[in-house]
Structure 1
Amino acid sequence: MGAAHTSVPEVLDALKDVSYPADRDRLLTAAREAGASDDVVMALRSIPAEEYGGREEVARAVRDSGPGHATAQRASQARHAGRPGIAQHLRDEPKTPIHEEFDR
Structure 2
Amino acid sequence: MAHATLDDVLGALRNVDFPADKTELLEAARSAGAADEVLSALRGIPPETYTNREEIARSIRTDPDTDLGLSPAQRAEQARQGGKPGLSQHLREVPKPPIEEELDR
- TM-score, normalised to structure 2's length? 0.57
Alignment match, 1:35: 33
Report the Cα distance in structure 2 between the residues aligned to 1:60 and 1:49, rounded to whole angstroms: 14
Identity across the alignment (%) = 52
Aligned pair count?
66
- After TM superposition, give the deviation of residue 26 of structure 1 in Å: 0.2
Q: Which runs of 4+ in 1 moved over 6 A?
A: none
- Gaps spanning 5+ residues in structure 2: where? 69-105
Change in Cα spacing, 1:7 to 1:54, as seen in structure 2 (3 Å) is same
2:64 corresponds to which of 67, 72, 87: 67
After superposition, what is the alpha-carbon deviation per residue over 1:70-97, rounded to whole angstroms, capped at 9, x for unaligned? x9xxxxxxxxxxxxxxxxxxxxxxxxxx
The residue type equivalent to 2:64 in the other structure is P
Alignment match, 1:16: 14
Report the Cα distance in structure 2 between the residues aligned to 1:35 and 1:27, rounded to whole angstroms: 13
Report the Cα distance in structure 2 between the residues aligned to 1:67 and 1:48, rounded to whole angstroms: 16
> Helix, strand or coil for the counterpart of 2:60?
helix
Larger radius of gyration: 1
Report the Cα distance in structure 1 between the residues aligned to 2:2 and 2:51, rounded to whole angstroms: 25
The residue type equivalent to 1:50 in the other structure is E
- After TM superposition, give the deviation of residue 67 of structure 1 in Å: 1.9
Task: Let me know the Cα RMSD of the aligned residues.
Answer: 2.0
- Gaps spanning 5+ residues in structure 1: where? 72-104
Highest RCO, 1 vs 2 (Cα 8 Å, sep ≥ 6): 1
